[in-house]
């Protein structure tokens, strides 16, 4: 029996959520809610609500999918818990702060509810292929992983207005909105980092937050990961937002790399030529179908009561690393360990 899913939020990226649920055999979208009723109607014709509480009362879903902006996350999670929903998926950035995210995570746990963060980058096919290749030791011991974020969407006075205008008002933007994706990817590939180092800057004066910078993560194994990010610049791709940039993993026995085509290639140590490891993915939608892949895997984990990689409790570590990165930048780029997670009791 498929899970009945109610979607809270019907903005730009919620369209990817709706398409993902339509492609998921383990779930079905039964309703959508948004203060702009026309937007909700476009995603769930005949089953649209202007108020999320009314939607939950009318539909009694198995799963609440939150695709609203971060200031709405905590309130919607609490609304879902109060309505008796016991499976909730919440978009990233998860809430407005580590403390707020920790508080709602504790409340969900106290209610016996499952709270999962919608973190889809680790479900992009090229990252999953890279993870498999690293685990299979195709490049020996991994030493360095680098991602050059180059979506090319941040130039000019109208940057982000057409797609996600709230980006412009975020006081913390590059890491808070996008960098957390890569922090999670690096954790997925190499394990938990022990410290971070950041150098951030704002290049476009039309926005409030930072839109370029470098972030480094240090691992107990001795490996390093680097996010070299600049939203004003692009890379060679028919759609710069497909891979969002170029990735490379280097190890003692070779190199794995992908560009804008999404093809993962391996070059063995000492060789001059590389070879494809994984072909371009055929999945439609953002990031090679990563939204549908994430949602299908999450629904199957919920239905089977199986563990899942982006449970809220585990994802708090990403937010702690994000906070440490901003602290590092404020301290002139010093290596900074993540602070201990808040010991928060549900209120």
Whole-angstrom Cα Rg for the chain: 20
Same domain? For 235 and 262 the reply is: yes
**Does some domain include residue 236?**
yes
Of 279, 301, 324, the one marking the end of a domain is 279
pLDDT value for 100: 97
> Rounded to 10 degrees, what is the CA torsion of 130, 300, 177, 112?
-130
Cα 247 to the center of its chain, rounded Å: 16
Same domain? For 230 and 261 the reply is: yes
pLDDT value for 282: 63
> Any idea how long the chain is?
347
Tokens of 107: 């409340």
pLDDT value for 278: 85
Confidence band, pLDDT 50/70/90 cuts, at residue 197: very high
Same domain? For 134 and 259 the reply is: yes
pLDDT value for 347: 46
Confidence band, pLDDT 50/70/90 cuts, at residue 244: very high
* CATH code: domain of residue 74: 3.40.50.720
Same domain? For 130 and 272 the reply is: yes
**Does some domain include residue 297?**
yes
pLDDT tens for each residue of 162-178: 989 999 999 999 999 99
**Does some domain include residue 329?**
no
**Does some domain include residue 315?**
no
**How many domains are there within the chain?**
2
Q: Using CA atoms, how far apart are residues 244 and 242, in angstroms rounded to an integer?
A: 6
* CATH code: domain of residue 140: 3.30.360.10
Give φ, ψ of 66 to 5 degrees. -100, 115
Q: Using CA atoms, how far apart are residues 250 and 257, in angstroms rounded to an integer?
A: 9
Q: Which domain holds residue 248?
A: 122-279
Same domain? For 135 and 273 the reply is: yes
Whether the predicted pLDDT of 193 surpasses 60? yes
pLDDT tens for each residue of 253-277: 999 999 999 999 999 999 999 999 9
Edge-to-edge strand order for the sheet containing 87-91? 48-49, 27-33, 3-8, 63-66, 87-91, 114-118
Among 219-223, 247-251, 276-280, name the one with the lowest average pLDDT: 276-280
Mean pLDDT (whole number) for 214-235: 98
pLDDT tens for each residue of 25-46: 999 999 999 999 999 999 999 9
- Average pLDDT of the chain? 96
Same domain? For 130 and 100 the reply is: no
- For residues 76 and 64, the answer to whether their CB atoms sit within 8 Å is yes
**Does some domain include residue 333?**
no
Q: Using CA atoms, how far apart are residues 314 and 332, in angstroms rounded to an integer?
A: 28
Confidence band, pLDDT 50/70/90 cuts, at residue 344: low
Confidence band, pLDDT 50/70/90 cuts, at residue 149: very high
Same domain? For 201 and 85 the reply is: no
pLDDT tens for each residue of 72-123: 999 999 999 999 999 999 999 999 999 999 999 999 999 999 999 999 999 9
pLDDT value for 130: 98
Same domain? For 261 and 296 the reply is: no
- For residues 247 and 268, the answer to whether their CB atoms sit within 8 Å is no
Mean pLDDT (whole number) for 219-241: 96
Same domain? For 108 and 52 the reply is: yes
Confidence band, pLDDT 50/70/90 cuts, at residue 66: very high
Same domain? For 136 and 249 the reply is: yes
């Amino acid at each position: 029996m498929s899970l009945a899913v109610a979607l809270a939020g019907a903005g730009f990226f919620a369209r990817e959520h709706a398409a993902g649920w339509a492609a998921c055999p383990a779930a079905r979208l039964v309703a959508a809610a948004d203060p702009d009723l026309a937007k909700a109607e476009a995603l769930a014709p005949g089953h649209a609500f202007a108020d999320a509480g009314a939607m939950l009362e009318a539909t009694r879903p198995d799963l609440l999918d939150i695709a609203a902006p971060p200031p709405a996350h905590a309130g919607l999670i609490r609304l879902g818990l109060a309505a008796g929903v016991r499976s909730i998926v919440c978009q990233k950035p998860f809430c407005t702060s580590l403390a707020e995210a920790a508080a709602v995570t504790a409340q969900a746990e106290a209610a016996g509810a499952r709270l999962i963060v919608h973190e889809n980058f680790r479900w992009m096919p090229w990252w999953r292929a890279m993870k498999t290749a690293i685990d299979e030791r195709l490049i020996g011991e991994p030493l360095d992983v680098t991602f050059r974020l180059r979506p090319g969407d941040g130039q000019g006075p109208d940057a982000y207005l057409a797609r996600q205008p709230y980006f412009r008002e975020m006081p913390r933007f590059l890491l808070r909105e996008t960098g957390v994706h890569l922090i999670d990817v690096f954790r997925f590939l190499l394990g938990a980092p022990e410290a971070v180092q950041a150098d951030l800057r704002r290049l476009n004066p039309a926005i409030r937050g930072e839109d370029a910078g470098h972030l480094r993560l240090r691992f107990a194994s001795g490996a390093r990961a680097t996010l070299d990010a600049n939203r004003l610049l692009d890379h060679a791709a028919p759609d710069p937002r497909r891979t969002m940039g170029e990735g490379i993993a280097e190890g003692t026995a070779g190199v794995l790399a992908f560009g804008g085509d999404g093809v993962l290639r391996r070059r063995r140590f000492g060789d001059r030529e590389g070879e494809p490891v994984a072909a371009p993915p055929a999945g439609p939608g953002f990031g090679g179908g990563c939204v549908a892949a994430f949602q299908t895997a999450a629904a199957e984990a919920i239905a089977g009561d199986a563990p899942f990689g982006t449970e809220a409790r585990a994802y708090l570590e990403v937010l702690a690393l994000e906070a440490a990165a901003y602290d590092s930048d404020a301290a002139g780029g010093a290596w900074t360990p993540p602070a201990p997670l808040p010991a928060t009791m549900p209120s």
